[in-house]
Amino acid sequence: MKTASTSLLDASAISLSGLCMAHCLVLPLVAAFSPLLAAWAEAEWVHVLVIVIAAPLSALALWRRGQAPAVILLALSGLTLMGLGLWPLHAWETPLTVGGSLLLAGAHIVNWKRRHAH
């Protein structure tokens, strides 16, 4: 895969992680002032959709020969935490999802930096 394509995939994955964190952290605050947004803030399909997009996008961006095991471990840990955020433990949903998003974004940032350092 070309470097430009991989950079675009990493940038897309980092942006998706940012949107996920915004959904988890900002949308509930905004929803307190708007009943219409409150329904969307609690929609489970949004979490499922983000993971369904994040997993293959991350695989495309990160899968290559000679990839650092730490990058793969970061990405898998992030996706795992995001997946655990789907469980009906509402007290842990936000910390798990935000933590997973941060780990996944971190994996893509490390991947981007490693690729541009060579």
Tell me the per-residue pLDDT of 39-85, one tens digit each, with 9 for 90 and over: 766 677 877 888 888 888 888 888 877 788 999 999 999 999 988 98
In percent, how much of the chain has pLDDT > 90? 14
**pLDDT at 1 exceeding the cut of 60:** no
Q: What is the pLDDT of residue 76?
A: 94
Residue partners of 37: CB distance under 8 A and separation at least 6? 27, 30, 31
| 17 in Cβ contact with 105 (< 8 Å) | yes
- Per-residue pLDDT, averaged over 12-35, amounts to 75
In this prediction, residue 72 carries a pLDDT of 92
pTM for the whole thing?
0.75
